[in-house]
Amino acid sequence: MTDNGRYAVIGKPLPKVDAASRVTGQAVYADDMLLPRTLHCRILRSPHPHARIVSIDTSAARRMPGVHAVITGADLPIKFGILPVTQDERALEHEKVRYVGDPIAAVAATDEEIAAAACDAIAVEYQVLEPVMSIDAALGRPKDERIQDYGGPNNIHKLVALEFGDVNGGFARADHVREDVFFFQGNTHLPMEQHSAVATYIDGKVTLWSSTQVVHYVHRALAKVLELPMNRIRVIGAAHGGGFGGKTDPFAHEIIVAKLAMITGRPVKCTLTREEVFYAHRGRHPVLMWVRTGVTSDGRITAMHFKSALDGGAYGSYGVASTFYTGALQTVTYDIPAYRFEGCRVFTNKPPCGPKRGHGTPQPRFAIELHLEKIARDLGIDPVEMKRANFVKPMTRTVNWMRVTSCGLEECTELVMKASGYRERERRSGRGMGFAISSYLSGAGTAIYWNDMPHSEVQIKVDRGGVTAYCGAMDIGQGSDSVLAAVVAEELGLQPKDIRLVTADTDTTPIDLGSYSSRVTFMAGNAALEAARKMRALLVEAVEASGRKYEEVSFEEASVLAEARFGTLTTAGSYTPPKIAGPYKGSGVGPSPAYSYSACVVDLDADPRTGLIHLNKVWIAHDVGRAINPLLVEGQVEGSVYMGLGEALMEEQTFRKGLHKWPSMLEYKSPTFLDMPDVETFIVETNDPEGPYGAKEAGQGPLLPVIPAVNAAVFDALGIWVDEVPVTPEKIVEALRRRDKGEPPRYGPQRFPEIPYPPTIKVDPPPRDLDRAAAASI
Amino acid sequence: MNGERTELLLPVHKTLLEVLREDMQLTGTKHGCELGECGTCTVLVDGKPELSCLLLPIQIEGRAVTTVEGLASGSRLHPLQQAFAELGAAQCGYCTPGILLASKSLLDTNQRPTRDEIREALAGNLCRCTGYMKILEAIELAAERMSTHSPSPLAGKEGMGRISDR
């Protein structure tokens, strides 16, 4: 499928455009900035998981030498939040705290030590309330009071119930019906860089540099809470030290430093400690899942009913979207003719959960992949072949109205099957291989706040032989700057290093909605393509007017001819996703202009005495549509495999009495160089009809199949099911002990709680054929 | 400090990490935990990798410190930097300075390490972006280039190479 010969830049494994600044230590991250007269900020945080604030006395802190300002919630009373429907956070809380770490007061001082000492000098009187620490507790009646004053009943945040097609009929038609319960423990992003922000206030304007994934959402939150028009605020993305979804919400410290800069008239910086980063969180939701599926005797799915319960933590964050995501994408990999989804998110007194790589979909992906494995074994058929028989086909619509265009599931599966030798694998106790597939969005088809404007815009300026591309997209290390440069360079006949970039600056760049939901290559890439093609047309016209061809003259000469002919050379391009959401409430979560597909095989040794797992190798194939830069695609795939292995085997964000059990990089286990096996990566190019040069996403999808592939490999090795993530040695040993006692050879949740789901909204499925469906949906 | 004699008057409790970043503007050295857990702040002291967040200035008096700013020769990248850039071994780049320095120390003592030896030498350096694969490949490429361009009589004998060139 490749036609790389057509392109000079696209498809070439070029170094990242910012590589030199990264390897020389010259990239300026937010905490590297030191403006003259900078004040340093520390934040006082709640030691209680749930408490009313009776009083806050800052007088002693204010008197301390070196302290320039102390603020509390009374100074920043306006609530904000990433989703319009859950504006439930304050930069500083002065009425009630809802998790250990909830910010209460902030100090700006001449150095960090004085600021920290001043925080210690602030006296807060609390009325401690009973904390709610589990899904079960949140579903029950609160002992003292509810965590939030919306949602409900009890501490339920969100309930969803949707049905597509004839689910009862599908189950009636089935030869075999199976139910399973799974639990996916929460985990966190653990970016190497702690969140950091620096603000100035000059001439009535706030400027904020931050390690954020989304300058635009920070811009909006600042405008709301600071009560300033957006044109008086400038947000700039500093060099970024890793996000993975953890820097996608607007954060309290970003608002606090801006407010402190407004009060003091001096630059103010706040860098979170590693412990604070663990409490800032917004990571993977712990999710309890129940799934019931009907199949024919030859393994074709007739109906599926999926229930999820998400432990959301104390605030909304992206939680409503996360809830829908636990039900949205099951149908995008498997052809499910009738599907019912019931979702629930609860509030608990823990740091809020939000989006982490794969946002809301790794948990159900884990569940559905293992569930289908078990069904295949019930039927006595090969799990891989059974899954394959149910693969979704390209150019179709799913029963829940997701539009599938390009789909490389078959190619991906065949590649990892062949390379791993899965079918011919050695069968002996203690050694196992597991297989799983997945899919992910190339950007959400709908914006977080509903509007009809483009999701990404790019401007190009050509001036005296130089090309500059402007875009709001934030490079968080994934290489979005390199993609922009590659697209513009390809169209203009240049190399990426010839393109100057101005990105992620709300004053100087047009909007891009940011680095989340794997949207940047697809959306900013398409915007850049449009802008670059318009620029090329101007250059070509000017050159041809001189009687020559564009390819015959130097770029410098072409730009002089065009500037002389047209004046200032600027073009713009934008990208708005097609309106493909289905006709039902909640249909905005899940649609994407294109889905990536992955398939993975994990090979491991599992020691039945100790439960220890040794990873031998991982094979992964990823349908990226087209690799604009295969080096960067491989990097995203390998990084996804790594993060998936960490989640599968060791990473856990858990709490005891409201306190994080291990808020340090030593105790929060993540894979090291020694844990990471070799990975063989295959890039599959299906040339998506709407992606730039056919490209789709690569940064999130490849994480998803890794986790269930590990669990499946553990079953292959030892004959036990660990229906939980992470798969720790003690769970393996316990499952083996149960097997030896004659009990079911399984470790995992026993039951799914009673949840007061609302009446199910029944949605008629769309026509399956894409062309007719597209017409019907307009 | 990076080959220059440096004299500083400092509070005794400041860590080397803080001194580098705050008093010397050597912000190429990053912090990930400030507790000696992640390897991000790795620098070389007399050619050996050390965690700058756990060192006090008094401990390095009279010793040679190399930070990422001291790796390149002027504007010419060190072979490790070159290989990291070429092979995409730096994504967000935040762990990169520490890993580059730990790698340099490894290659200074073992010119052609095996992949397992590289894993062992870098086990104390966390990276969340790359999955480590491109880093391993980059170190192997740099080792190959460095040993090809400057053959040593001890090349290939593990642990027998020259000590730091500083």
Tell me how close the Cα of B114 comes to any Cα of chain A, in angstroms: 13
- Tokens representing residue B147 in the block: 């040993």
pLDDT at A272 over 50: yes
Q: In the predicted model, what is the mean pLDDT of residues A707-719?
A: 98
Task: Say yes or no for a CB contact (<8 Å) between A191 and B21.
Answer: no
Contact B16, B49 (CB under 8 A): no
- Tokens representing residue A197 in the block: 């922000």
Q: pLDDT tens across A16-67, in order?
A: 999 999 999 999 999 999 999 999 999 999 999 999 999 999 999 999 999 9
Q: In the predicted model, what is the mean pLDDT of residues A235-241?
A: 98
Assign A612 to helix, strand or coil. Answer: coil
Q: Which of A12, A14, A16, A24 to mutate: most B Cβ within 10 Å?
A: A24
- Chain B residue numbers touching A640 (CB-CB < 8 A): 131
Q: pLDDT tens across A437-469, in order?
A: 999 999 999 999 989 999 999 999 999 889 999
The pLDDT mean for chain B works out to: 90
Q: Please give the Cα distance from A366 to A370 (Å, whole number).
A: 6
Structure confidence at residue B56 (pLDDT): 96
User: Would you list the domain boundaries of chain B?
Assistant: 16-70, 79-149
Task: Say yes or no for a CB contact (<8 Å) between B33 and A28.
Answer: no
Q: In the predicted model, what is the mean pLDDT of residues A70-78?
A: 98
Structure confidence at residue A769 (pLDDT): 73
Chain B (48-87) residues lying within 8 Å, Cβ to Cβ, of chain A:
67-69, 71-72, 77, 81-82, 84-87
Structure confidence at residue A775 (pLDDT): 41
- Chain B residue numbers touching A241 (CB-CB < 8 A): 30, 92-94
The CATH homologous superfamily for domain B16-70 is Beta-grasp domain (3.10.20.30)
Q: pLDDT tens across B67-97, in order?
A: 999 999 999 999 999 999 999 999 999 999 9
pLDDT at B166 over 50: no
**Fold topology of B79-149:** DNA polymerase; domain 1 (1.10.150)
HSE at residue A379, side-chain half, CA atoms within 13 A, is: 27
Task: Say yes or no for a CB contact (<8 Å) between A22 and B96.
Answer: yes
Q: Please give the Cα distance from A30 to A504 (Å, whole number).
A: 13
pLDDT at A772 over 60: no
Give the burial class of A773: count Cβ atoms within 10 A of its Cβ; 0-12 exposed, 13-18 middle, 19 or more buried: buried
Contact A641, B131 (CB under 8 A): yes
Tell me how close the Cα of A447 comes to any Cα of chain B, in angstroms: 26
Of B22, B81, B132, the CB nearest to A676: B132
Q: In the predicted model, what is the mean pLDDT of residues A302-322?
A: 98
Tell me the C-alpha to C-alpha distance, in Å, between residue A79 and each of A231, A255, A570.
20, 11, 40
Structure confidence at residue A767 (pLDDT): 86
ipTM given for this complex: 0.96
Assign A767 to helix, strand or coil. Answer: coil
Of A242, A273, A635, the CB nearest to B128: A242
Return the residue of A nearest to B30 by Cα.
A193
Q: Please give the Cα distance from A414 to A420 (Å, whole number).
A: 10
Of B31, B97, B129, the CB nearest to A242: B129
Q: In the predicted model, what is the mean pLDDT of residues A408-420?
A: 98
Q: pLDDT tens across A629-661, in order?
A: 999 999 999 999 999 999 999 999 999 999 999
- Cα A654 from chain centroid? 20
The pLDDT mean for chain A works out to: 96
Higher pLDDT, residue B93 or A771: B93
pLDDT at B158 over 70: no
Structure confidence at residue B106 (pLDDT): 98
Percent of chain A with pLDDT over 90: 96
**Strands A613-623 and A678-684, bridge-based pairing:** parallel
Full DSSP string of A43-73 = EEE-SSSSEEEEEEE-HHHHHSTTEEEEEEG
Chain A (216-275) residues lying within 8 Å, Cβ to Cβ, of chain B:
239-242, 244, 273-274
Q: Residue A774: pLDDT band by 50, 70, 90 thresholds?
A: low
Structure confidence at residue B148 (pLDDT): 85
Q: Residue A4: pLDDT band by 50, 70, 90 thresholds?
A: low
CB contact, 8 Å: B40 with chain A? yes
pLDDT at B160 over 80: no
- Chain B residue numbers touching A476 (CB-CB < 8 A): 92
Full DSSP string of A295-321 = E-TT--EEEEEEEEEEE--SS-TTHHH
CB contact, 8 Å: A55 with chain B? no
Return the residue of B nearest to A188 by Cα.
B128
- Chain B residue numbers touching A31 (CB-CB < 8 A): 31
Task: Say yes or no for a CB contact (<8 Å) between A274 and B132.
Answer: no
Of A192, A632, A674, the CB nearest to B119: A674
Q: pLDDT tens across A681-698, in order?
A: 999 999 999 999 999 999
Tell me how close the Cα of A492 comes to any Cα of chain B, in angstroms: 24
Residue entry with tokens 């945040």: A157
- Tokens representing residue A387 in the block: 């899954």
Task: List the Cα angle A10/A14/A19 in 5-degree steps.
Answer: 135
pLDDT at A346 over 90: yes
pLDDT at B154 over 50: no
Percent of chain A with pLDDT over 70: 98
Tell me how close the Cα of B30 comes to any Cα of chain A, in angstroms: 8
Tell me which of A538-542, A560-564, B148-152, B159-163 is least confident.
B159-163
CB contact, 8 Å: B114 with chain A? no
Percent of chain B with pLDDT over 70: 89
Backbone angles phi, psi at B150, to 5 degrees: -135, 75
Structure confidence at residue A92 (pLDDT): 98
Task: Say yes or no for a CB contact (<8 Å) between B35 and A664.
Answer: yes
Q: Residue A768: pLDDT band by 50, 70, 90 thresholds?
A: confident
Structure confidence at residue A391 (pLDDT): 98
Task: Say yes or no for a CB contact (<8 Å) between A635 and B91.
Answer: yes
Q: Which of B101, B158, A363 is nearest to A371 (CA)?
A: A363
Q: Which of A371, A505, A515, A376 is nearest to A444 (CA)?
A: A515
Tell me the C-alpha to C-alpha distance, in Å, between residue A759 and each of A194, A462, A756.
44, 58, 9
Walk me through the domains of chain A, giving residue ranges and CATH numbers. 37-129+189-280 (3.90.1170.50), 287-446+584-761 (3.30.365.10), 453-575 (3.30.365.10)
Q: Residue A776: pLDDT band by 50, 70, 90 thresholds?
A: very low
